[in-house]
Amino acid sequence: MNIHLSLTPLISLMAGILVLVMPKLLNLIVAIYLIAVGLIGLFGLGSLRIS
């Protein structure tokens, strides 16, 4: 059984929930999101395969 897990949508979902819960931290959440997505793109960690 293979599970295909993509990190970018999970990070987006978590960032969106955090913005809704704590809108005062919007700048920090957006900065962390952009850094995480950039690192995922650079190092090719966009999808993990768990067997």
Provide the number of structural domains found in the chain: 1
Kindly give the interhelix angle for 26-43 and 7-21, rounded to the nearest 10 degrees: 180
CA distances to 8, 12, 33, 38 from 24, rounded to whole Å, are 23, 18, 15, 23
Closest C-alpha to 29, from 17, 42, 38, 44:
17
Question: How does pLDDT run across 2-11, given as a tens digit for each residue?
Answer: 666 677 788 8
pLDDT of residue 44: 75
Quote the mean pLDDT of the chain: 80
What is the domain extent for residue 14?
3-50
pLDDT-derived band of residue 40, with 50, 70 and 90 as boundaries? confident
